[in-house]
Structure 1
Amino acid sequence: MAKFIWTSQLNVGIEVIDQQHRRIVEYINQLDDARSNGHSREEIGYLINDLVDYTISHFGFEESLQEEANYPFAKSHKKVHDLFTQRVSDFQARYDKGEDVSKGLNSLLVTWLFNHIKRDDADYVEAVKAYLQHQKDFVENKKGLFARLFG
């Protein structure tokens, strides 16, 4: 399988989220490299576990941001994450039973991540950006207040 190349098309415009998405892409490519280069089953298993753990952690972070931003479709977005997590857990279980799922898992990850970023994630960006800007403005205003009081 060809490397999953990160392009600016995949940026959502929230740097911390874009960094996390790029890290997931790195994991996907590491898994494909390990599979293609005949790495041991144990090494591939570690990579799958790391990729899944990181992705679930990313989902939690993204969901927290959506809740804080009062994104109206946060629960629906979480359900999409939950369904995907279940699919990946099924792949992990099959792998643990001895099945070679790395090619199918890699294909699922590439397709799902690309589509998820372009569709589902794009929907929450405006709400989260507005929230983050509000937080930044609040902090900046407090800095000015403290400077006037204690400066």
Structure 2
Amino acid sequence: MGITWTTDLNTGIEVIDNQHRRIVEYINQLEQAALRRDMPSVGRVLEDLVDYTQSHFAFEESLQEEVGYQYAKPHKAVHEMFIKRVSGYQQRHAAGENVIEALHTMLSTWLIHHIKRDDMAYVREVGVKAQAATQPTQTGGWLGRSLKRFFG
């Protein structure tokens, strides 16, 4: 069963909420490909999901760093563990193992739990700062500041 976005998943930071919605879309696409038993599509969607999620994590981690979130390092460690788990599923899928049901359950459960617990925790602490940091009116905007940080 697909994930339905509900208002209790909104963090109040529009850019983060939009990214979370996109991850939900990928998880639902994964489920649709699995229902069609279209294993090549499952692999492609899984790859896209991992790529997008890693970009989202990098964005979120950079934002947390910029606003001085005190639990940024543990939050990043949670992200790293998630990517490691999903990579394991990717490898098993590539080896021909049917991991779709277990993967979908893990993704759905993890995402909802992560948003409601881990992400909401940083929103309470840095929500206003985070909202301001993502506004393009800030010097260089988030993207410019991040590119400078990542690429000098």
| Structure-1-length-normalised TM-score | 0.85
Structure 1 residues not aligned, in runs of 5+: 141-151
Give the conservation status (yes or no) of the 8 Å contact 1:27–1:47.
Answer: yes
Aligned residue for 1:149? none
Alignment counterpart, residue 109 of structure 2, candidates 108, 111, 125 = 111
Q: Aligned residue for 1:11?
A: 10
Aligned equivalents of 2:76, 2:32: Cα separation in 1: 30
* TM-score calculated relative to the size of structure 2: 0.84
Aligned match of 2:142? none
Unaligned regions of 5+ residues in structure 2, if any? 140-152
Max Rg structure: 1
Q: Percent identity?
A: 52
2:59 to 55, 58, 61: 61
Post-superposition CA distance 1:51-71 (Å, at most 9, x none) = 111111100100000000100
Using the TM superposition, give the Cα deviation of residue 102 of structure 1 relative to its aligned residue in structure 2, in angstroms. 1.4
Do 2:13 and 2:130's aligned partners in 1 also have CA atoms closer than 8 Å?
Answer: no
1:99 alignment partner, SS class: coil
**Alpha-carbon separation, structure 1, partners of 2:92 and 2:134:** 44
Task: Answer whether contact 2:67 2:133 (CA < 8 A) is retained.
Answer: no
Instruction: State the number of aligned residues.
Output: 137
Query: In 1, Cα distance between the equivalents of 2:132 and 2:10?
Result: 18
Within 1, Cα distance between the matches of 2:122 and 2:80? Answer: 17
